Amino acid sequence: MMKTAQEYIESMKNFNPRIFLGGKRVNLFENPTTLTVIKANARVYELSQEPAYQEIMTAVSPYTGGRISRCLHIAQSIHDLERRAEMALLTSQMLGTCNYRCVGADVLNALAGVTWEMDRDLGTDYHQRFLAYLKHLQENDLACSGAVTDPKGDRSKRPAQQSDPDVYVHVAEKKADGIIVRGAKVSQSGAIGCHETVVIPTMGMREGEEAFAVAFAVPNGAPGITYISQYTPFTAEREVVSDIRYLGNPEYGQRETCIMVFDNVFVPWERVFMCGETRYSGRLIARFAKTHRMNCGGACKVGFIDLIIGAAQLAAEYSGVQKAPHIVEKITDMIRISETSRACTIAAALKGSEEPAGSGFYLPNDIFGNVAKLTVADGFWEVMKWVGDIAGGMAVTMPSEEELNNPESGPYVRKFMCASAPAELRLRVAKFVQNWCAGLHGAGTWHGAGSPQAQKMVLYALTDLEEKKRLAKNLAGIKD
What single DSSP character describes residue 125?
A: -
Residue 295 makes contact with ligand FAD by CB under 6 A: no
Q: Is the peptide bond before 452 cis (omega within 30 degrees of 0)?
A: no
Nearer to ligand FAD, 330 or 441 (CB): 441
Nearer to ligand FAD, 170 or 255 (CB): 255
Q: Is 237 left (phi over 0), alpha (psi -120 to 50) or beta?
A: alpha
Choose the stretch contacting ligand FAD; rule: CB under 6 A; options: 77-85, 143-151, 323-331, 397-405.
143-151
Binding ligand FAD by CB under 6 A: which of 178, 352, 369, 444? 444
Cβ contact 276:211 at 8 Å = yes
Nearer to ligand FAD, 39 or 447 (CB): 447
Give CA–CA dist 412/410, Å, rounded. 5
Nearer to ligand FAD, 246 or 304 (CB): 304
CB of 425 to ligand FAD, least distance (A): 30
Residue 447 makes contact with ligand FAD by CB under 6 A: yes
Nearer to ligand FAD, 265 or 315 (CB): 265
For the beta carbon of residue 185, count every other beta carbon within 10 angstroms. 25
Residue 149 makes contact with ligand FAD by CB under 6 A: yes
Measured CA distances, 330 to 102, 299, 387, 389, 429 (Å):
31, 21, 8, 9, 18
Choose the stretch contacting ligand FAD; rule: CB under 6 A; options: 220-228, 332-340, 404-412, 450-458.
450-458
Nearer to ligand FAD, 150 or 306 (CB): 150
Cβ contact 115:130 at 8 Å = yes
CB of 304 to ligand FAD, least distance (A): 11
Encode 232-255 in three state secondary structure: CHHHHHHHHCCCHHHCCCCCCCCC
First to last CA, the chain: 64
| Alpha carbon 244 to its chain's center | 24
DSSP, residue by residue, 4-73: PHHHHHHHHTT----EEETTEEE-TTTSHHHHHHHHHHHHHHHHHH-GGGHHHHEEE-TTTSSEEEGGGP
Nearer to ligand FAD, 301 or 330 (CB): 301
Binding ligand FAD by CB under 6 A: which of 221, 253, 439, 450? 450
Q: Please count the residues of this chain forming the interface with ligand FAD, following the rule CB under 6 A.
A: 19
Choose the stretch contacting ligand FAD; rule: CB under 6 A; options: 166-174, 297-305, 377-385, 440-448.
440-448
Per DSSP, the three-state class of 116 is helix
DSSP, residue by residue, 144-156: EEEE-----SSTT
Q: Which of residues 343-402 bind ligand FAD (CB under 6 A)?
A: none
Nearer to ligand FAD, 361 or 380 (CB): 380
Residues 165-204, mask of contacts with ligand FAD (x by CB under 6 A): --------------------x-xxx---------------
Binding ligand FAD by CB under 6 A: which of 148, 218, 312, 376? 148
For the beta carbon of residue 44, count every other beta carbon within 10 angstroms. 24
Cβ contact 295:88 at 8 Å = yes
Nearer to ligand FAD, 109 or 124 (CB): 109
Choose the stretch contacting ligand FAD; rule: CB under 6 A; options: 33-41, 144-152, 355-363, 364-372.
144-152
Residue 255 makes contact with ligand FAD by CB under 6 A: yes
Give CA–CA dist 232/229, Å, rounded. 10
| Alpha carbon 437 to its chain's center | 19
CB of 146 to ligand FAD, least distance (A): 5
Residues 274-293, mask of contacts with ligand FAD (x by CB under 6 A): --------------------
Q: Which of residues 96-125 bind ligand FAD (CB under 6 A)?
A: 103
Give CA–CA dist 39/43, Å, rounded. 6
Residue 152 makes contact with ligand FAD by CB under 6 A: yes
Residue 155 makes contact with ligand FAD by CB under 6 A: yes
**Among 297, 350, 293, which Cα is nearest to 83's?**
350
Residue 147 makes contact with ligand FAD by CB under 6 A: yes
Spatial strand order in the sheet of 258-268: 24-26, 19-21, 225-229, 258-268, 178-185, 170-174
Nearer to ligand FAD, 189 or 291 (CB): 189
Residue 214 makes contact with ligand FAD by CB under 6 A: no
CB of 453 to ligand FAD, least distance (A): 4
Chain residues binding ligand FAD by CB under 6 A are: 103, 146-149, 152, 155, 185, 187-189, 255, 257, 444, 447-448, 450-451, 453
